[in-house]
């Protein structure tokens, strides 16, 4: 069965400087305030509806107990509700709930406003079970006295809402990089004088962490030397300890590589006095980390302390974005497929129920695509009635922005999850695996030879795409880079994909695939028949190829050539020509293995929709390329003027002088109007080529 007890959760990612422990605390309090306010309105509606006097003895006893407490008269209700007669027992009980919900809402408001509240916590609700218990009492009473149709109406709907959303409305997942936890533990071990944790081997780390987890001594106090980054991690843990536990879901470790990453978070949760520790979810992202993930999980499960801690349940997250940036779309997809198979085998070996958490993005380069097909293409036995999937910010509105869209999205997830369980996809045949392994090696080799090993690539990428401008503008959910310096490896996956999407070149999706297909066909011409069988019989391979084909339908190398002509220096243009040649070769090879005469031959409706959008997107591309050229030319002119003149007064006065334009709009380094135009074209292009499949 599908896990219907799951709650919607939002991930608080501490790679964003605007996401602080204080912001996390305020978000949780605000969510609880909103939940209490919504439930308060629902209770008042039920009070109007449940006016009957007939009730069960159980409910009568509860009402007598409430009246005996002689609760203080509330002054914040309309005249009608100031005095509820004892002859209306349901209203007496619901009125008592209403008072507590009012106090709950006001306590959250005061905590948000002043950081403290004089409302006693005993007069409020702190857990959803406290709301459900009297509602269930009302339900039982109605059923016993012959009013079950009324019980199954608004009351049952309200009970389901409380069960689903709780008092926290949504759960927050905390997400932090493994290196930050290493910094904290390293500071602790250095402070204790036992060495540098960062320099220890994995075995030493595990041994020390387990010895501390099995012990009870505190590791540090207020005298622990901290940096801003270390303080941020510890303060986040303290916020988790301070707030009710139903506010939080999982603690996700980005860039997890080893068992010590998980054990370190477990130890920090204990040290920060989190009464009910969050479940710890390792996120394996890069290709090497995905390969090592099954061994890391096996080592974790072999630890008795950890196996007792998880109580037979484990969640593992796999990252589509960074794995694709690391090795290319084809290699990343295949490695994630194999990693899931191996992770499930490890979990079964230790009797653990494993839930896969898919860190998908909105675009194909970040693992996006049609939901139904994406779920059905997962390996057999990896979805046992439940899964978790991220819905990224760039697509959340089109999936959940309206009620009917929300219903259809949840319907697709539910239907695909059920279908995967009842009709599992076939496992790949040994010869298919062998062919995919060889293709992945060839694909990764070509991808990395260009992206990471070509000395001209980074300079070309930044010249031929709006990546630099995107990073400087405040339109992303996070800074474009994990570190201010560095090349592609430090660039976040979103701007990496976004920049190539804007130029309609989609390089991260197809680069490496052409080389893999070419090598496979050259090594054995009979592989063309093998590809045909794989495409017809294996959902994973079909979905992978179809998504790349869809991207080719959206792409246009002529647009990429326009950006090159306007923005790229002459010495870098040959690289662009080489990449466009690879683009065309890959497209031709893709058609060859799918036996299509043209792109999207098997999906004419999508092809027609993209044709209708084409003129509008192309106009935006031309406008964007011209705006980028003007912005960069004026930026160079301004820099040249600054460098050639020691005194700003020596800069010639002209109506179009860049300095004057910048002064008119002090919030941006770009001339006024140009940045707004660039943002409009960026959003327009992204909307125009969003996944329509």
User: What are the catalytic residues?
Assistant: 325
- ∠ Cα 16 18 23 (to 5°): 115
Residue 332 CB partners (closer than 8 Å, separation 6+):
287, 290, 320, 323, 324, 326
Residue 143 and residue 173 in contact, taking contact as beta carbons nearer than 8 Å: no
Q: Give the helix/strand (H/E) hosting 315.
A: strand 313-319
Is residue 256 classed as helix, strand or coil in its secondary structure?
A: coil
Asked if residues 552 and 590 have their Cβ atoms less than 8 Å apart, the reply is: yes
Q: What is the 3-state secondary structure (H, E, C) of 629-688?
A: HHHHHHHHHHHHHHHHCCCHHHCCCCCCCHHHHHHHCCCCCCCCCHHHHHHHHHHHHHHH
Tokens 């054990």: give the residue.
Answer: 263
Whether 488 contacts 461, CB under 8 Å: yes
**Does an H or E element contain 280, and which?**
strand 279-284
CB-facing half-sphere around the CA of 679: CA atoms within 13 A: 13
- If residue 97 lies in a helix (H) or strand (E), which one and from where to where? helix 89-114
The radius of gyration of the chain's CA atoms, rounded to the nearest angstrom, is 29
CB 264 within 8 A of CB 181: yes
- Across-strand partners of 283? 317
Q: Which helix (H) or strand (E) holds 318?
A: strand 313-319
The rounded Cα 556 to chain-centroid distance in angstroms is 29
Q: For the chain, first and last CA: distance in Å?
A: 27
CB 251 within 8 A of CB 173: yes
Burial class (CB within 10 angstroms; exposed 0-12, middle 13-18, buried 19+) of 294: buried
Distance, in Å, from the CA atom of 203 to the CA atom of 260, rounded to the nearest integer, reads 9
480 DSSP assignment: S
- The sheet carrying 279-284 orders its strands as 9-13, 171-177, 248-254, 279-284, 313-319, 353-359, 388-389
167 DSSP assignment: T
| Residue 614, burial from CB neighbour count under 10 angstroms (0-12, 13-18, 19+) | middle
* Structure tokens belonging to residue 342: 């191996």
Q: What is the rounded distance in angstroms from the CA atom of residue 430 to the CA atom of residue 433?
A: 5
């Amino acid at each position: 069965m599908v896990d219907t007890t799951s709650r919607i959760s939002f991930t608080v990612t501490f790679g964003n400087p605007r996401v602080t422990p204080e912001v996390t605390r305020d978000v949780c309090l605000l969510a609880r305030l909103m939940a209490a306010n919504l439930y308060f309105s629902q209770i008042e509606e039920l009070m109007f509806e449940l006016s009957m006097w007939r009730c069960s003895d159980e409910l009568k006893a509860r009402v007598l107990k409430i009246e005996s407490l002689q609760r203080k008269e509330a002054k914040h209700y309309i005249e009608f509700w100031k005095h509820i007669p004892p002859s209306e027992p349901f209203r007496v009980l619901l009125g008592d709930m209403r008072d507590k919900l009012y106090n709950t809402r006001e306590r959250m408001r005061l905590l948000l406003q002043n950081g403290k509240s004089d409302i006693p916590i005993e007069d409020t609700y702190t857990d959803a079970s406290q709301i459900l218990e009297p509602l269930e009492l009302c339900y039982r009473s109605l059923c016993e006295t012959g009013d079950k149709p009324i019980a199954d109406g608004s009351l049952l709907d309200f009970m389901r809402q409380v069960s689903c959303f709780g008092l926290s409305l949504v759960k927050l997942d905390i997400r932090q990089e493994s290196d930050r936890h290493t910094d904290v533990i390293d500071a602790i071990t250095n402070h204790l004088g036992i060495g540098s944790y960062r320099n220890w081997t994995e075995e030493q780390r595990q041994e020390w962490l387990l010895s501390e987890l099995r012990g009870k001594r505190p590791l540090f106090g207020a005298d622990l030397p901290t940096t801003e980054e270390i303080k941020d991690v510890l303060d986040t843990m303290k916020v988790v300890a301070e707030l009710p536990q139903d506010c939080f879901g999982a603690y996700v470790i980005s860039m997890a590589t080893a068992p010590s990453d998980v054990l370190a978070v477990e130890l920090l949760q204990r040290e920060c006095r989190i009464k009910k520790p969050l479940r710890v979810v390792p996120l394996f992202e890069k290709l090497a980390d995905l390969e090592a993930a099954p061994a890391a999980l096996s080592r974790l499960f072999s630890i008795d302390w950890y196996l007792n801690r998880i109580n037979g349940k484990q969640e593992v997250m796999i990252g589509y974005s960074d794995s694709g940036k690391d090795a290319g779309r084809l290699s990343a997809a295949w490695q994630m497929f194999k990693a899931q198979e191996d992770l499930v085998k490890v979990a079964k070996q230790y009797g653990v129920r494993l839930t896969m958490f898919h860190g998908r993005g909105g675009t194909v380069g970040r693992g996006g695509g049609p939901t139904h097909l994406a779920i059905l293409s997962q390996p057999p036995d990896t979805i046992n009635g439940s899964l978790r999937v991220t819905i990224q910010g760039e697509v959340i509105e089109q999936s959940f922005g309206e009620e009917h869209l929300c219903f259809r999205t949840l319907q697709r997830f539910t239907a695909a999850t059920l279908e995967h369980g009842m009709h599992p996809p076939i496992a790949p045949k040994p010869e298919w695996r062998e062919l995919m392994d060889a293709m992945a090696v060839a694909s990764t080799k070509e991808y990395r030879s260009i992206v990471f090993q070509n000395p001209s690539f980074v300079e070309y990428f930044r010249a031929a795409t709006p990546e630099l401008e995107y990073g400087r503008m405040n339109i992303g959910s996070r800074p474009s880079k994990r570190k201010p310096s560095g090349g592609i490896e430090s660039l976040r996956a979103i701007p990496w994909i976004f920049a190539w999407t804007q130029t309609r070149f989609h390089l991260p999706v197809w680069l490496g695939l052409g080389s893999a297909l070419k090598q496979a066909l050259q090594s054995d011409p009979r592989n063309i028949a093998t590809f045909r069988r794989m495409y017809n019989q294996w959902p994973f391979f079909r979905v992978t190829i179809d998504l790349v084909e869809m991207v080719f339908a959206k792409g246009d190398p002529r647009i990429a050539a326009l950006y090159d002509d306007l923005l790229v220096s002459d010495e870098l243009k040959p690289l662009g020509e080489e990449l466009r040649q690879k683009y065309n070769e890959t497209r031709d090879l893709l058609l060859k293995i799918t036996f299509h005469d043209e792109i999207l031959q098997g999906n004419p409706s999508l092809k027609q929709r993209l044709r209708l959008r084409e003129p509008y997107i192309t106009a935006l591309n031309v406008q964007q390329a011209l705006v980028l050229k003007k912005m960069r030319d004026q930026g160079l002119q301004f820099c040249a003027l600054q460098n050639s003149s020691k005194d700003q007064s020596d800069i010639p006065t002209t109506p179009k002088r860049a300095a004057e334009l910048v002064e008119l709009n002090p919030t941006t380094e770009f001339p006024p109007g140009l940045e707004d135009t660039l943002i409009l074209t960026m959003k327009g292009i992204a909307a125009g080529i969003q996944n329509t499949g």
